Structure 1
């Protein structure tokens, strides 16, 4: 087999492959013999059809089948021989495929970039440290109470933070419009759920009262048919309910699966969860800084095939997350290209750091991570056992641990500054990384 390779760009390769005619004919004849054993031809018993008849009827199909298989096999042999690492399937252009002649074709494809990860010492990382203070714990308990707020009916006029049960009909130029009417809707005043002026217009209303609100849809309203238009809403208030914070008692604790441990036990459990969240937040911020540093220090070209695959993955994730009747391919690729490029480049860099430093997942850290995740459940031992019985989930944890080991490897040479901050600052989400 003859192989020649041309570099048409930094990553693209144009490979010309010639497969000897003898090998081609051997493959064609093999398929014809297989066909002869099962072919049903009028006038002949199965398996007794003359090869000349078989060849006349089936040779073209056998030759096409052989072409596909030979291209696949010879391409693999050629990239191994040339020590190439394709980043996607090749585009195949036949040059010659005539009976009795060599099979020749051109395969155009991209290869993975070859590079050495460098610049660890140019990376600067700010590593935060914080504690969960009693005041932080008290604030979290208030958050939990507000998240579990209850509403009780009252006879007074509505005020902000009250929940109203309402019926409403919206009209534009005297005509009802799609999505402008509802019955029995629960609305908390001040939530900002409705268009400007709607909730404000119901402050002071009482159960049984009807109010007419003349409001304008914002110019940037998501429904372009309604944007900027003025509508009249006739609103009937069915009931007014005021918010009631739950007491810190056994009934409240039971909602979180904590029983018979009182306020002190509940506070201890919440503190433990906050400390877990704090550790993860600090770890994530350090990791993001390391990854940003690796990206800045190691600019590499991305194979188009890998970028397209990642864009398609992100499209599918977006549809799964937001639902709707849209198909993934209908989402514009440019919406995902920056994120896809970042993920692909980081994937290549991380893989190279692992290779250069001969890293393998630390199984002790794997178990520690699983135990940490399991501690948030009522039956942690069952969760741990579940992970170790499911290879896919276990390997996902191993991948996360391996990334942490990559971060640790970089931190050994990076410039690290420690900074003490409050709990709130430490757990506050970091800004989104800048696009490359």
Structure 2
């Protein structure tokens, strides 16, 4: 076998592989000899079929299988011998000349094919001990715990039917029908809907107009949907609702005691407070980790500058671009509404894609050197979490991950990434800093994040959502 490099431009490589006809013929003859004692051909005793006849009957099919085996197996071996790792599956090209293909299958011509691919770039990982980050920690005050416990208690509050008019804090049971320009709209009707006045669950201005109504009353109320309402066809529009009040109920007294805790399957009010505190700390902990991770990624990005494989960058950009356009479409907006142009947005998201791919490669090398593995149990738990998000579609989700190439890698990558970050936290310098919840929750875009992830102009939801996505998702494998 002869391997000749015909292209070495940046990260792009192209190899010409030639397997001489004598080698192909020798491989074919070995397989024919192996088949000689196994095949049954009329007119010949087992094991006595002449090789020439075997070649005439089975030669082309055996040669076709040889060709298929070669293009499936040799590229991996060739790249391994060259000490290279392809960024994506190498592209294989063979002759399209039918006459030449027939000669190859007849063992009368050399078998030639080309391998085209991009290599994973070679780079050195920075000294991780040089990374220094600040871990913001919130000391949850007792008052916040009490506020949350009170919300839990209010969620368990009982209501008693009353005959008087509805007041703020009362629960009303209503039938309603919403209309825009006199026409009912989808999702704008319900029966026996329960609504606590003052809960702010409905459109601004809706609940206040229920005050003073009593059971049996009917009323038409008018409201205006918010300009940023999620349903674009309703955003900013005036609507009317035909209301029928079925019941008015007054709230019972809220008491935080052991009886309330036991109704929630907890042994005491103290245990309830303990559970609530743990939940709040967990919520803040997730934000703390994300901000910590962002600092790590920023410093890794600053220390590692190299060209990334365009195939990976193209794929990541397409993922981002598809997400952005879906969000714009769902919100009924355009790039102009976001104070930018499609061309400028493409350039900015392309830079973001390059950053994500580069960080994915860096994290991948750090994790591999640390011997980080993703277990089957971890993959199974991740798959289960995916399935839980789509109740009623469990079978379809399982089949998707079984049949879709790369689907399992999409589960593995974020797990691998998080385990790599955990490994790094044991090597870098971490300084804890106690902050208020307001400081922790403040947008961190102005705290030194990469320019590719900060809007150069005022951009709303689409930009922010894309920037907050895990940067190495799908690229760390």
Give, in angstroms, the shift of residue 80 of structure 1.
1.6
- Alpha-carbon shift at residue 167 of structure 1 (Å): 1.4
Query: Structure 2 matches for 1:284-303, cutoff 5 A?
Result: 284-303=290-309
Secondary structure in structure 2 of the residue aligned to 1:253 = helix
Corresponding residue of 2:192: 184
1:421 aligns with 2:429: no
The residue number in structure 1 matching 2:13 is 13
2:159–2:249 contact (8 Å) kept in structure 1: yes
The question of whether the paired residues in 1 share the 8 Å contact of 2:172 and 2:248 is answered with yes
8 Å contact from structure 2 (residues 32, 54) kept in 1: yes
Distance 1:266 1:223, change over 3 A: closer
TM-score (norm 1): 0.69
Q: Structure 1 residue 106 and structure 2 residue 114: aligned?
A: yes
Q: Quick one: structure 1 residues 353 and 180, their matched pair in 2 at CA, closer, same or farther if it must change by over 3 Å?
A: closer
Task: State the match for 2:244 in structure 1.
Answer: 236
Supply the distance in 2 between the matched residues of 1:230 and 1:350 (Cα, whole angstroms): 51
Correspondences of 1:194-205 after superposition (within 5 Å): 194-205=202-213
- 1:411-432: per-residue Cα shift (whole Å, max 9, x none)? 2xxxx6654323x247637647
* 2:129–2:427 Cα contact (<8 Å) kept: no
Q: Runs of 5+ in structure 1 lacking a partner?
A: 318-333, 362-392
Q: In structure 2, do the counterparts of structure 1 residues 407 and 246 end up closer, same or farther at CA, with 3 Å as the change threshold?
A: same
Alignment of 1:267-282 (within 5 A): 267-271=273-277, 281-282=287-288
Q: What's the C-alpha RMSD, in Å, of the aligned pairs?
A: 4.5
The alignment status of 1:404 with 2:404, answered yes or no, reads: no
Deviations 1:377-421 (A, max 9, x none): xxxxxxxxxxxxxxxx9x99897454223134232xxxx665432
SS at match of 2:427: helix
* 2:362 alignment partner in structure 1: 349
Equivalent positions of 1:14-29 (< 5 A) are 14-29=14-29
1:255, distance to aligned residue in structure 2 (A): 4.9
Alignment of 1:122-133 (within 5 A): 125-133=133-141
Which residue of structure 2 aligns with residue 94 of structure 1?
94
Moved more, 205-214 or 32-41: 32-41
* Deviation of 1:107 (Å): 0.8
Structure 2 Cα separation of the partners of residues 336 and 255 of structure 1 = 51
Any conservation in 1 of the 2:363–2:420 contact (CA below 8 Å)? no
Structure 1 position 43, deviation (Å): 6.8
Does the residue aligned with 1:239 lie in a helix, a strand or coil? strand
Closer, same or farther: CA 173–77 of 1 in aligned 2, 3 Å: closer
Extract unaligned runs of 5+ from structure 2: 324-345, 373-410, 454-477
CA distance in 2, matches of 1:37, 1:246: 88
Distance 1:151 1:341 in 2: 57
Task: Provide the TM-score with structure 2 as the length reference.
Answer: 0.64
Give the CA deviation at 1:198: 3.4
Closer, same or farther in 2 for the Cα pair 1:257/1:232, shift >3 Å?
Answer: closer
- Cα offsets for 1:359-387 (capped at 9, x unmatched): 457xxxxxxxxxxxxxxxxxxxxxxxxxx
The correspondence of residues 8-407 of structure 1 with structure 2, limited to 5 A, is 8-32=8-32, 52=52, 54-95=54-95, 98=104, 99-118=107-126, 125-172=133-180, 174-217=182-225, 221-226=229-234, 230-244=238-252, 246-259=254-267, 262-271=268-277, 281-306=287-312, 344-354=357-367, 359=370, 400-407=418-425
Q: CA separation in 2, counterparts of 1:114 and 1:165?
A: 66
What secondary structure, in the 3-state scheme, does the structure 1 residue paired with 2:135 have?
A: strand
The aligned counterpart of 1:371 is: none
Q: Is the 8 A contact 1:168 1:234 kept in 2?
A: yes
Cα distance in 1 for partners of 2:286, 2:188 equals: 44
Partner of 1:328: none
CA separation of 1:269 and 1:183: change in aligned 2, threshold 3 A: closer
1:212 CA drift (Å): 1.4
Q: 1:131 to 1:302 in 2, by over 3 A?
A: same
2:90/2:116 contact within 8 Å kept: yes
